[in-house]
Amino acid sequence: MNTGQIREYVIRPALQRIGMWDEAGEQLVYGTGLVETGYNCIDQLTPGPGPAYGPWQMEEPTHYDIWTNFLPGQSANLRQSLLQMAGFGAEVSPPVTALHGNWFYAAAMCRIRYRRVPAPLPAPGDASAMAAYWKQWYNTPKGAGTIERALPLFQQAVAA
């Protein structure tokens, strides 16, 4: 799979659709997918907490927490864009399994997860800061991922 096309044809349009595109956000979402799955699977393959869904490996509680506790305070346009992206028209949260087959929706949800972080995004091109940011806010300090393993993938993300 050409992962660069995922960035160009999935991540960028998804982030633009929800009004959250910028270079740093695109690099962070792209790098997160490289670290989490390498865009080679759509469901969690490793044992441990989970399950996690889609190429960005979002867990069910995180997915529903975004819909329950974050999106109600956001613009109706953001919620409607997500519902349309997921293939839902009603004002109900899509099932977590929408992250499996709808990569636009999954990329947007990854970016929204980062949007909730109280710290600003790292600067575009700063792979070290992005790897540390991913570890702190996406994988979490107790997660199995490491900055050392993530760094070369975020270097790839910012060089693309």
Provide the pLDDT for residue 4: 86
**Whether the Cβ atoms of residue 55 and residue 47 lie closer than 8 Å to each other:** no
Reported as a single tens digit per residue, the pLDDT across 16-48 is: 999 999 999 999 999 999 999 999 988 776 666
| Rounded Cα gap, residues 146 and 151, in angstroms | 9
Q: Report which of 115, 105, 108, 104 is spatially closest to residue 138, judged by C-alpha positions.
A: 115
Reported as a single tens digit per residue, the pLDDT across 99-157 is: 988 999 999 999 999 999 999 999 999 999 999 999 999 998 888 899 999 999 999 99
Contacts for 74 with CB less than 8 Å, ≥ 6 apart: none
Backbone angles phi, psi at 59, to 5 degrees: -85, 155
CA quadruple 134, 155, 97, 82: dihedral sign: positive
Please report, in angstroms and rounded to a whole number, the separation of the first and last CA atoms in the chain: 15
Domains of the chain: 3-159 (1.10.530)
**Whether the Cβ atoms of residue 16 and residue 77 lie closer than 8 Å to each other:** no
Whether the predicted model's global pTM rises above the 0.75 cut: yes
Provide the pLDDT for residue 90: 65
